[in-house]
């Protein structure tokens, strides 16, 4: 597949915002530095929302100040309002994101206002971003279903997407907030959405709550979408708690893309190590199956210099030794 695909790493923001265990600034700094070292260039590193609502993101300012700033790496942050935008500008982010919902009830419960009212709050953000020449991304929450309303109308997705683009967003990340969509939903939605909007303006932000995220990416790719969000280590959920709602693991996404012939430029070993590191800080194992398989095969640690577990030495045993005496 001769495609350019952009991976937006949202682990440091979407992956961590929900965590109950508090992380040190050093933990987060180590995570982002590891992601940069692995080759990720688009990293959502923080969120300038109320620290009362999302305590895990309270140190986004100090974090962004401490991060390395190599050429080609862009840090992003979520901003809900003018005050958040001021903080984001002070932290010298490269891009901001606003968030609207495809569901009225979710909008009310999440940000205490209607969808229409949320756009009034975006106006000063867009104005400030315009003045600074900062790109603004739009998130569209609950595009595949809402925890309160259930099914979400495909036309609501199209209409709020259009509103975000008209407001000045360069791209809308259509988000499966509750991880309920299937490739069938992705196909139906994109068939509708892409009649009005070029695929280049759409990203997919998928949670793996029901294990569908990677298949949904494939359906998105087939429909022409080339920007996908993911979280290293599948951050955002806990494999030990029922109902884990993590993002799609970046390792799984990279592994699939490389297998599809898409060159991601990402060192999957370093990526897996970064995911293991932050998972350890959170007191658990990585939720990435790719990372777990690499660890089991001894690929992590001893070959950190190679680019991909696919391209590097296929002669290595990559399965479970115990499988060797079992059929199929």
Q: Which residue among the candidates 142, 146, 169, 238 is catalytic per the annotation?
A: 238
- Residues 243-302 touching its own copies, rule: CB under 8 A, are 243-245, 249, 252, 255-256, 258-261, 285, 288-290, 292-293, 295-297
Cα–Cα nearest to 106, from 29, 175, 17: 175
Q: Using CB under 8 A, pick the residue from 51, 55, 68, 150 that binds its own copies.
A: 150
In whole angstroms, the minimum distance from the beta carbon of 68 to its own copies comes to 26
Using CB under 8 A, count the residues that bind its own copies: 88
- Using rule CB under 8 A, residue 4 touches its own copies: no
C-alpha 73/C-alpha 256 separation (Å) is 23
CB 41 within 8 A of CB 73: yes
- Nearest-10 crossing angle of helices 25-38, 268-281: 170
Identify which of residues 135 and 183 has a Cβ nearer to its own copies in the complex: 183
Identify which of residues 53 and 134 has a Cβ nearer to its own copies in the complex: 53
- Residues 88-147 touching its own copies, rule: CB under 8 A, are 99, 106, 109-111, 139-141, 145, 147
C-alpha 137/C-alpha 173 separation (Å) is 7
Q: Locate 209 and state its tokens.
A: 């709550």
C-alpha 171/C-alpha 167 separation (Å) is 11
Identify which of residues 30 and 285 has a Cβ nearer to its own copies in the complex: 285
Give the β-pairing of 95-101 and 74-78: parallel
- Using rule CB under 8 A, residue 165 touches its own copies: no
In whole angstroms, the minimum distance from the beta carbon of 141 to its own copies comes to 5
Q: How far is CA 115 from the centre of its chain?
A: 23
- Using rule CB under 8 A, residue 18 touches its own copies: yes
C-alpha 320/C-alpha 328 separation (Å) is 13
Binding mask 192-211 for its own copies (x = CB under 8 A): -------------x--xxxx
In whole angstroms, the minimum distance from the beta carbon of 133 to its own copies comes to 24
- Using rule CB under 8 A, residue 175 touches its own copies: yes
C-alpha 233/C-alpha 217 separation (Å) is 17
C-alpha 251/C-alpha 272 separation (Å) is 7
Catalytic machinery residues:
238
């Amino acid at each position: 597949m001769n495609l350019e695909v952009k991976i937006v790493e949202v682990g440091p923001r979407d992956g961590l915002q929900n965590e109950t265990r508090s992380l040190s600034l050093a933990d987060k700094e180590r995570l982002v530095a590891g992601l940069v070292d692995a080759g990720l260039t688009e990293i959502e590193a923080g969120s300038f929302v109320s620290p009362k609502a999302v305590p895990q993101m309270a140190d986004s300012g100090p974090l962004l100040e401490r991060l390395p700033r190599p050429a080609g790496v862009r840090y992003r942050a979520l901003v809900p309002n003018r005050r958040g935008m001021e903080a984001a500008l002070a932290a010298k982010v490269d891009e901001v994101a606003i968030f609207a919902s495809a569901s009225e009830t979710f909008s009310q419960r999440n940000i205490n206002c209607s969808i229409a009212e949320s756009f009034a709050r975006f106006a000063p953000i867009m104005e400030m971003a315009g003045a600074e020449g900062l790109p603004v991304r739009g998130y569209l929450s609950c595009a595949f279903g809402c925890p309160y309303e259930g099914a979400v109308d495909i036309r609501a997705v199209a209409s709020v997407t259009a509103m975000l683009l008209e407001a000045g967003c360069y791209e809308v990340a259509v988000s499966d907030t509750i991880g309920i969509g299937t490739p069938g939903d992705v196909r139906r939605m994109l068939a509708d959405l892409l009649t009005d909007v070029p695929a280049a303006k759409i990203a997919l932000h998928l949670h793996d709550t029901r294990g569908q995220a990677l298949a949904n990416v494939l359906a998105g790719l087939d429909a022409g979408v080339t920007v996908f969000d993911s979280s290293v280590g599948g951050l955002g959920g806990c494999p030990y708690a029922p109902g884990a709602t993590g993002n799609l693991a970046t390792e799984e996404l990279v592994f699939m893309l490389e297998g599809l012939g898409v060159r991601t430029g990402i060192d999957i070993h370093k990526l897996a190590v970064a995911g293991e590191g932050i998972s350890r800080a959170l007191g658990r194992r990585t939720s990435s199956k790719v990372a777990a398989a690499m660890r089991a095969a001894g690929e992590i640690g001893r070959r950190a210099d190679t680019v991909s577990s696919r391209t590097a030495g296929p002669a290595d045993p990559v399965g479970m030794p115990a499988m060797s005496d079992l059929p199929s």
